[in-house]
C-alpha cells in the first residue's frame, strides 16, 4: 500500500512539475556558478520551495544532481511539504546546518537527508576535497530506495565558506545510470577532480561590476563531463 501511495505521489508531482533545459553558464542562488558543456534539465517541484537546485538528465527517478549554495547557519537542507508525514507516524528529522560542524557532521546531514523517507543509507568513503574554493570533503554513499528497493549509488561534495555551506550530491541507480551520468570535473591543469565549483562571497555579489577585482572575485566554474 505504501509503495502504491509513493507511486501515486510521484505521478501527481510529475503532472505539476516545471522542467527547464539548462546549459552553458548557470548560477545557483546567485552564489555558485556552473559551466555546463552538456545540457541538463532543472526541475522545480510544486510541493515546496527547496533550498537547492535539482537537475537531471534522464528523469528524477533515474538520476538527480542537487546543488546547495550559501546555506546559512540554522537553515535546513530541504523543506518537507505539508502533509508529508502520514498520520500516526513520527516526522523525519530535518537536516539543518549549524556553524562549526566537523566534516563528519556535515556528511551526516546528507545521510539524514536521503534516509528521511525511510530509505536505507550507508556512507562508504569520506576524503578531503576542494569544493566552492574551499577545503571540504568528498563522500560516497549507497541508498536502497524505500519506494521500490532500487539500489542507488551517490557521491557528494561539501565545504564551508565564510560560515556558509556549499554542497552538491549526485545519485543514480548503481549498476546502469551512475557510471554513465556521474558529473565529472577537470581542473585547469587537466586533472580529474570529480566536481569542482568555486563560490562567490556575498560582498562580491553585491559589488556587481567590481567582481573582477582581486580577492572579491571567485571564478565560478564547474565542469560536468559524463563518464563514458
The per-residue pLDDT for range 21-50, each reduced to its tens digit, is 988 788 888 888 777 777 889 998 776 789
Higher-scoring residue by pLDDT: 5, 59: 59
Cell of 163: 560560515
Q: How far apart are alpha carbons 22 and 55 in whole angstroms?
A: 9
Q: Going from the N-terminus, what domains does the chain have, and what CATH number goes with each?
A: 2-84+91-212 (3.40.1000.10)
Q: Which residues of 58-93 are buried (b: 16+ CB within 10 A; e: fewer)?
A: eebebbbbbbbbbbeeeeebbeeeeeeeeeeeeeee
The per-residue pLDDT for range 79-129, each reduced to its tens digit, is 876 655 555 666 678 999 999 999 999 999 999 999 988 999 999 999 999
Residue 181 predicted with pLDDT over 80: no
Say what percent of the chain tops pLDDT 90: 41
pTM summary value? 0.75
Residue 144 predicted with pLDDT over 70: yes
The contacts found for 10-19 with CB under 8 angstroms, 24 or more apart, are 10/61, 10/147, 13/45, 13/46, 13/47, 16/46, 17/43, 17/44, 17/45, 17/46, 18/43, 18/44, 18/46, 19/43, 19/44
What count of residues does the chain have?
228
Amino acid at each position: 500500500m505504501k509503495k502504491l501511495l509513493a507511486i501515486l505521489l510521484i505521478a501527481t508531482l510529475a503532472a505539476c512539475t516545471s522542467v527547464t533545459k539548462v546549459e552553458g553558464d548557470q548560477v545557483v542562488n546567485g552564489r555558485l556558478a556552473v559551466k555546463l558543456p552538456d545540457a541538463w534539465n532543472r526541475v522545480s517541484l510544486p510541493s515546496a520551495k527547496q533550498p537547492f537546485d535539482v537537475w537531471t538528465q534522464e528523469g528524477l527517478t533515474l538520476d538527480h544532481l542537487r546543488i546547495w549554495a550559501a546555506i546559512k547557519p540554522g537553515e535546513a537542507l530541504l523543506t518537507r511539504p505539508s502533509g508529508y508525514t502520514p498520520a500516526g507516524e513520527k516526522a523525519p528529522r530535518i537536516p539543518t546546518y549549524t556553524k562549526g560542524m566537523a566534516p563528519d557532521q556535515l556528511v551526516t546531514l546528507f545521510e539524514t537527508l536521503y534516509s528521511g523517507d525511510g530509505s536505507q543509507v550507508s556512507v562508504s568513503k569520506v576524503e578531503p576535497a576542494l569544493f566552492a574554493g574551499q577545503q571540504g570533503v568528498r563522500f560516497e554513499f549507497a541508498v536502497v530506495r524505500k519506494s521500490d528497493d532500487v539500489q542507488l549509488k551517490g557521491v557528494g561534495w561539501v565545504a564551508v565558506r565564510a560560515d556558509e555551506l556549499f554542497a552538491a550530491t549526485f545519485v543514480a541507480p548503481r549498476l546502469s545510470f551512475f557510471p554513465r551520468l556521474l558529473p565529472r570535473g577537470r581542473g585547469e591543469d587537466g586533472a580529474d577532480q570529480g566536481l569542482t565549483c568555486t563560490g562567490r562571497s556575498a560582498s562580491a555579489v553585491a559589488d556587481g561590476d567590481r567582481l573582477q577585482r582581486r580577492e572579491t572575485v571567485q571564478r565560478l566554474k564547474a565542469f560536468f563531463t559524463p563518464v563514458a
